[in-house]
Structure 1
Amino acid sequence: MLLQLDFSTATPIYQQIRDQIVRGIAEGELAPGERLPTVRALASECGVNAMTVSKAYQLLKQEGHVRGDRRGGTFVCEPDGSSDPNPGIVDALRMRLAELVAGGMSGKEVLALCERLLDEIAYR
């Protein structure tokens, strides 16, 4: 699993790992049931501390993107099919939309941007 980590940004490395795995799931690069590398293997591949990868995996588990345990491995979860989005994600999206509007974008421009970004995701 090749991740592109930026060590010069303010975004924590564990968050970058989490974000790229979520993006991989959304874009179909990581299929439901697919086994993720072990914490140690991914840490070695990325050149980061194993605790950093462990923190990313724990966050992914809490969010329901992956499942597993120490002995069996970590696997991508099947989508639950629920049409009710996570309230925390909705709140974060609401804030990002407010930031775009506060920055001067119109509602139409925001919707066009959202459509363009959704089109970039292969798996829906």
Structure 2
Amino acid sequence: MVIEIDFNSDEAIYVQLMNQIIMGIATSRLQEGDPLPSVRQLADTIGINMHTVNKAYSLLRQEGFVTIDRRRGAIIAIDVDKMKALEEMKQNLMVALARGYCKNISRAEVHDLIDEIFDEYGIE
């Protein structure tokens, strides 16, 4: 998996790293059980601090995207708690939809955008 960090972005590096791993899972580039690079290895490859990678991995673990084992490292392990995931998604969507509403984005445009994203993931 190739991780690309935009060092000029206003978005924190650990957030960019997390988002790219989540997108890798959503697009099936990363599968349940796949190991992620060690903290040191990924930090060296990208050219960032090990603490930044560790923070991203820890947050991914808290959100149920990975498990962390001292011997095996970080492993993709998707949380099966669907109700919790739906509630978190609802909260995030409420804010995103409110922002769109303030910018006069219509319901039809939102539906089209969601369909486009689901098509990218290959989801029916």
Mark the runs of 5 or more structure 2 residues left unpaired by the alignment. Answer: none
Aligned length: 124
Report if aligned partners of 1:33, 1:78 keep a CA contact under 8 Å in 2.
no
Report if aligned partners of 1:26, 1:123 keep a CA contact under 8 Å in 2.
no
Report if aligned partners of 1:33, 1:75 keep a CA contact under 8 Å in 2.
yes
> Cα deviations across residues 63-104 of structure 1 (Å, max 9, x unaligned)?
000002233211001451735525333211110111112101
- Aligned residue number for residue 14 of structure 2: 14
> Percent same amino acid among aligned pairs?
36
CA distance in 1, matches of 2:79, 2:10: 31
Matches within 5 A, 1:21-100: 21-80=21-80, 82=82, 84-100=84-100
The alpha carbon displacement at 1:108 in A equals: 1.0
Aligned alpha-carbon RMSD (Å) = 1.7
Mark the runs of 5 or more structure 1 residues left unpaired by the alignment. Answer: none
Q: Which moves more between the two structures, 45-54 or 112-121? A: 112-121
Shift in CA distance, 28/79, structure 1 to aligned 2, threshold 3 Å: farther
Report if aligned partners of 1:26, 1:122 keep a CA contact under 8 Å in 2.
no
> Cα deviations across residues 15-65 of structure 1 (Å, max 9, x unaligned)?
000000000001100010001100000001110000000000000000000
SS of residue paired to 2:82: coil
CA distance in 2, matches of 1:123, 1:114: 11
SS of residue paired to 2:53: helix
Higher RCO, 1 vs 2 (CA within 8 Å, ≥6 residues apart): 1
